[in-house]
């Protein structure tokens, strides 16, 4: 029998996380009620809708899930009061306004204020999520693997707390705080910079204002988003922040090369932007991002050296998506992109004790093209997703300093994903994905020391995941806001970091239980 | 650099404060948004959710109450509308119905044009040989509906087809509806033709 004290699942952070879950469950049990469960249960309390209205296999979104996000997480309709503000814009006043409108229209009817019957008080839109996973990799983790065993580890990570829901009738938020289990010792850099590694961090955050209007023949939804991760605000699960795989093992290997927009600056930046949806079909967005200062990142639980550097100017992000839809069919054709001017760290190892950046900047221009088709059947969903990203690298800083061997590089990534979700409750989801990373060989960027072979960033492989979701349309007995997903994920590499030789050593089986409450 | 950061922070604060001010000042009809979430920004229908704009208020009201009482029980009704109406009082249902009935409807125009003529013939004349009554008799010459008989003109082909099929499948709408009796004999080709024709009616 294993000693619990040495089991990573019971590390100090893990125990704290488990206690936090317990405390929160006890607190929320006091609220009671009979609302169906959802991926983010606070959204279910607010809308009254079950998980399956917005999600196929969470966090993958249905057309209605996308509209909920578009409208700023503010839509209500559940048994509970939508916002904490009773004096303005609350449901009672809104119903009164509607009553007044109805009276004007039909010049009749009684004048008593309309009320939603059975409405209960406001409950803070707090949710929690935890993923407990078992990981088997084809080859053992390189020694030293502390605090883990060389293989076949059970780890509780991540654990997240959320604020998810309306603040006013126009403003809503999705904000996540996450505990991530530490990396194996062999995965650390072994430099003084390791002291900036954290387990608790601010995670995906998206605060929105949204409203609607009409201009001539056009129905307009417009809004403002303030967020901390380019594409976290996007509506489609094709773009990087919310793309499949939704849960990955912290002990599995992932390709070393990826474009900047694929999370390189997630939580290192803040951005503010404006978006609109015209005639429920054309989505346009422009957002500007800036990196947080070193100390700000560190205080928020983010390792600043985890990103390539600091932006020298506001980084523009753009998004255009056309979503034709009829009956059960929804298409999307889109493009998006971002331009990053990045001053690299002078010394990302922190050996020199400096947190400064170089005066010259690398420029990365990422352009993405994505598409989705979604079909809603009587008791199933079919979703096909494609995402292609092309990154133009102008290494004006990295080339002179020798960090790269070329002044200009190209890097491409491709993900083709198919998902079939079957069933209401007792729902099964089968997802398959082909992924590929390829680009210009570079002797310094993709060196043997950096874990690459043949100076090449190229990787490719397949991923398959089978999920079981017990409560897609209904509710958990005794605790209506609980939902779960049991997932078995297998990642197979044809090529890993530039070589097919030994690529399969990185193949990973990840059996995980994802709890949301 | 500092100037850039200050300007950036100022822009961030402005962007965050401005919408708060707008939200407090503006009149928002929250329950309407709870409907337009799925039924489209101006309630013209979205994906599988039917158009509400221009629908007969008495029809909308009776259907909302029927969802709430779990009488209207087709699969999508159960899936979405039972939850959506669980906290909706009768007066609120009446007010929402009045509101949506005043929005000018737009035709979906998503039917098969080749079938529209056949659909119009069935709509206007019925199929006497099969003992199928003319839809026109109750729903009106322009499929505009009256009282709690719904407007059908311009609804989406998908929705009309699904509803016409459901009558023969044993699902319910409101107590005493004649539709199961009237629509059950319709063959699938006739349903397709009717749905196509009606989607073009303005």
pLDDT tens per residue across span A462-490: 999 999 999 888 777 766 678 899 999 99
Tell me if A38 sits within 8 A of A50, measured CB to CB: yes
On the question of a common fold for B5-101 and B113-200, the answer reads: yes
Q: Could you name the CATH architecture of B5-101?
A: Orthogonal Bundle (1.10)
Q: Indicate the pTM of the whole model.
A: 0.88
Does pLDDT of B80 surpass 80? yes
Give ∠ CA A277-A264-A225 in degrees, rounded to 5: 25
Does pLDDT of A437 surpass 90? yes
Query: Cβ of A94 under 8 Å from any chain B Cβ?
Result: yes
- Coil/strand/helix, residue A512: strand
Question: How far is the C-alpha of A146 from the C-alpha of A141, rounded, in Å?
Answer: 10
Q: How many residue pairs bridge chain A and chain B with CB atoms within 8 Å of each other?
A: 194
Chosen for mutation from A82, A170, A228, A328 (greatest number of chain B CBs closer than 10 Å) is A170
Q: What tokens were used for A130? A: 């935890």
Q: Could you name the CATH architecture of B113-200?
A: Orthogonal Bundle (1.10)
Question: How far is the C-alpha of A211 from the C-alpha of A224, rounded, in Å?
Answer: 9
Q: What is the 3-state secondary structure (H, E, C) of A315-383?
A: EEEEEEEECCEECCEEEEEEEEEEEEEEEEECCCCCCCCCCCECCCCEEEEEEEEEEEEEEECCCEEEE
Q: What tokens were used for B135? A: 């839809």
Partners of A207 on chain B (C-beta within 8 Å) are 16
- Coil/strand/helix, residue A46: helix
Residue A120 or residue B116, greater confidence:
B116
Phi-psi label, residue A286: left if phi above 0, alpha if psi -120 to 50, beta otherwise? beta
> For A311-338, how does the pLDDT look when each residue is reduced to its tens digit (9 = 90+)?
999 999 999 999 999 999 999 999 999 9
Q: What tokens were used for A6? A: 């040495």
ipTM score here? Answer: 0.86
Chosen for mutation from A68, A280, A474 (greatest number of chain B CBs closer than 10 Å) is A280
Facing A109 at nearest CB: one of B5, B16, B94: B94
Q: Do B31 and A71 touch (CB under 8 A)?
A: no
Half-sphere exposure of A381 (CA within 13 A, CB side): 28
Question: Can you tell me which residue has the tokens 């109750």?
Answer: B138
pLDDT of residue B22: 43
- Contacts (Cβ under 8 Å, ≥6 apart) of A295: none
Q: What tokens were used for B159? A: 């929705």
Facing A117 at nearest CB: one of B40, B87, B101: B87
Tell me if A510 sits within 8 A of A466, measured CB to CB: no
Residue A28 binned pLDDT confidence (cut-offs 50, 70, 90): very low
Residue B15 binned pLDDT confidence (cut-offs 50, 70, 90): low
Tell me if A437 sits within 8 A of A457, measured CB to CB: yes
pLDDT of residue A474: 76
Q: Do A290 and B8 touch (CB under 8 A)?
A: yes
**Secondary-structure percent of chain B, ordered helix, strand, coil, rounded to 5:** 60, 5, 40
Q: Do B29 and A101 touch (CB under 8 A)?
A: yes
Question: Can you tell me which residue has the tokens 């693997």?
Answer: A145
Facing A170 at nearest CB: one of B12, B28, B156: B28
Dmax (CA) of chain B: 84
> How do the domains of chain B map onto residue ranges?
5-101, 113-200
Facing A170 at nearest CB: one of B22, B42, B157: B22
């Amino acid at each position: 029998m294993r000693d619990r004290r040495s089991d990573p699942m019971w590390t100090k952070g893990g125990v704290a996380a488990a206690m936090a879950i317990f405390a929160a469950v006890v607190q929320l049990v006091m609220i009671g009620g009979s609302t169906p469960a959802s991926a983010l249960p606070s959204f279910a309390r607010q809308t009254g809708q079950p998980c399956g209205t917005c999600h196929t296999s969470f966090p993958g979104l249905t057309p209605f899930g996308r509209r909920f996000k578009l409208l700023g997480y503010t839509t209500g309709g559940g048994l509970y009061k939508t916002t904490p503000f009773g004096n303005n814009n609350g449901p009672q006043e809104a119903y009164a306004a509607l009553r007044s409108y109805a009276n004007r229209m039909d010049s009749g009817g009684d004048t008593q204020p309309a009320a939603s019957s059975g409405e209960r008080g406001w409950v803070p839109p707090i949710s929690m999520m935890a993923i407990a996973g078992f990981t088997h990799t084809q080859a053992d983790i390189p020694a030293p693997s502390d605090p883990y065993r060389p293989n076949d580890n059970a780890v509780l990570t991540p654990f997240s707390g959320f604020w998810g829901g309306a603040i006013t009738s126009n403003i809503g938020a999705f904000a996540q705080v996450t505990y991530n289990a530490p990396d194996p010792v062999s995965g650390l850099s072994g430099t003084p910079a390791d002291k900036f590694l954290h387990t608790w961090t601010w995670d995906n955050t998206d605060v929105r204002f949204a409203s609607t209007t009409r201009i001539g023949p056009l129905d307009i939804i417009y809004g403002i988003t303030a967020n901390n991760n380019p594409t976290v605000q996007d509506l489609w699960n094709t773009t990087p922040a919310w793309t499949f795989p939704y849960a990955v093992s912290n002990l599995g290997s992932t390709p070393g090369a990826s474009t900047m927009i694929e999370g390189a600056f997630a939580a290192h930046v803040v951005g503010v932007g404006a978006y609109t949806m015209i005639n429920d079909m054309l989505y346009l967005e422009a957002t500007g991002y800036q990196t947080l200062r070193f100390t700000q990142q560190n205080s928020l639980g983010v390792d600043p050296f985890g990103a390539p550097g600091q932006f020298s100017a506001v980084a523009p992000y753009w998004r255009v998506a056309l979503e034709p839809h009829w009956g059960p069919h929804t298409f999307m054709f889109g493009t998006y992109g971002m331009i990053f001017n990045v001053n690299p760290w002078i010394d990302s190892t922190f050996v020199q004790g400096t947190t400064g950046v170089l005066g010259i900047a690398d420029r990365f221009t990422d352009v993405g093209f994505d598409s989705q088709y979604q079909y809603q059947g009587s008791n199933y969903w079919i979703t096909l997703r494609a995402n292609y990203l092309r990154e133009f690298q102008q290494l004006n800083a990295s080339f002179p300093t020798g960090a790269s061997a070329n002044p200009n590089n190209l890097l491409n990534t491709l993900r083709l994903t198919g998902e079939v979700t079957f069933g209401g409750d007792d729902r099964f989801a089968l997802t398959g994905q082909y992924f590929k990373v390829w680009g210009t060989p570079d002797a310094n960027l993709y060196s043997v020391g950096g874990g690459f072979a043949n100076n090449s960033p190229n990787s490719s492989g397949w991923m398959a995941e089978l999920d079981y979701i017990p409560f897609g349309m209904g509710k958990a007995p005794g605790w209506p806001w609980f939902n779960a997903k049991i997932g078995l994920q297998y990642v197979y590499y044809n090529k890993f970091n530039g070589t097919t030789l030994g690529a399969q050593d990185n193949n990973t089986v990840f059996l995980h239980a994802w709890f949301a409450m | 650099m500092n100037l850039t950061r200050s300007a950036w922070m100022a822009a961030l604060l402005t962007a965050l404060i401005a919408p708060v001010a707008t939200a407090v000042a503006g009149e928002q009809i929250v329950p309407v948004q709870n409907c337009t979430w799925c039924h489209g920004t101006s309630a013209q229908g979205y994906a599988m959710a039917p158009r509400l704009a221009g629908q007969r208020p008495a029809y909308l009201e009776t259907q909302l109450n029927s969802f709430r009482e779990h009488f209207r029980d087709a699969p999508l009704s159960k899936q979405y509308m039972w939850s959506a109406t669980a906290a909706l009082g009768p007066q609120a249902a009446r007010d929402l119905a009045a509101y949506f009935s005043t929005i000018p409807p737009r035709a979906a125009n998503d039917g098969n044009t080749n079938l529209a003529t056949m659909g119009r013939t069935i709509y206007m004349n019925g199929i006497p040989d099969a003992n199928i009554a003319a839809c026109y008799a109750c729903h009106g010459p322009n499929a505009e509906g009256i009282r709690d008989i719904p407007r059908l003109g311009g609804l989406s082909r998908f929705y009309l087809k699904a509803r016409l099929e459901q009558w023969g499948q044993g699902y319910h709408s409101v107590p005493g509806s004649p539709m199961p009796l009237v629509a059950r004999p319709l063959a699938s080709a006739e349903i397709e033709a009717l749905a196509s024709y009606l989607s073009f009616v303005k």
